[in-house]
Each structure stands twice: as C-alpha cells, then as structure tokens.
C-alpha cells in the first residue's frame, strides 16, 4: 500500500468513527455537572439512554391531561434524585443504566385522553 493510499484509508476510518458516535445527551455537557452527568456525557450508550428518556418523557407530557402533568413532573424529580444516588454505589454505570431503563419503562406510553 502506498503512503497516499494509507493516509486516505486512515482519514476515511477517522471520519467513519466520528460519525458512529451517538448524539449527545439531552442536557448541555459544558460547565460543571455532577459525577453522574459527567459519566453520561462521556458515554455514548448512556447519552443515548438519556435522549431516549427525554423523548419518552416529552411524549408522556404531551399526552397527559392537566391532572397528570404534575404527577409526571413529581415522578421525574424523584427519579432524578434516585439517579444522583448512583454516584455512591459500587457500580455507578450499572446503576445509571438500570435507573434509566426503569424510568423509561415506567413512563406511560399510551394516550390518556
């Protein structure tokens, strides 16, 4: 392989790798964040779970009637507090994954109206 062909191949591989990264999480990763937020910002799979939750929560809020909105917001605050506790466990990443997956599963999926 010539040097030029090798350089072209290397550039193509770098471009493909950068395109393979997941979208960032639903929150801004710049600035100071908790240990858990930093973990999510540095992990494509966790960032993907965060985006999935953000979409699911937005759909649930859009489908909720006025009485349900307050409950959804309250449940989300409780969930966020549970997520922050993951920083103090032996396996924080596994805790974050489990906490996200449970919250996504707990959100209502059907229209309530």
**Residue 17 placed within a domain:** no
State pTM to two decimals.
0.75
Find the domain containing 29 and state its range.
22-106
The DSSP code for 42 is T
**Residue 62 placed within a domain:** yes
**Residue 86: how many other CB atoms lie within 10 Å:** 21
**Residue 10 placed within a domain:** no
**Residue 6 placed within a domain:** no
Q: pLDDT tens, 71-107?
A: 999 999 999 999 999 999 999 999 999 999 999 999 9
**Residue 61 placed within a domain:** yes
Q: How many domains does the chain have?
A: 1
Q: pLDDT tens, 5-23?
A: 444 444 344 434 333 455 7
**Residue 16 placed within a domain:** no
3-state SS string for 64-105: CCHHHHHHHHHHHHHHHHHHHHHHHCCCHHHHHHHHHHHHHH
């Amino acid at each position: 392989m010539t040097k030029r062909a090798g350089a072209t191949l290397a550039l193509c591989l770098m471009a493909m790798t950068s395109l393979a990264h997941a979208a960032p999480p639903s929150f801004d990763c710049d600035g100071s964040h908790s240990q858990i937020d930093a973990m999510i910002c540095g992990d494509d799979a966790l960032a993907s779970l965060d985006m999935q939750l953000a979409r699911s929560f937005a759909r649930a809020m859009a489908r909720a009637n006025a009485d349900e909105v307050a409950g959804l917001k309250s449940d989300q605050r409780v969930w966020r507090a549970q997520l922050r506790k993951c920083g103090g466990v032996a396996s924080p990443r596994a805790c974050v994954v489990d906490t996200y997956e449970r919250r996504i599963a707990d959100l209502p999926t059907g229209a309530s109206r």
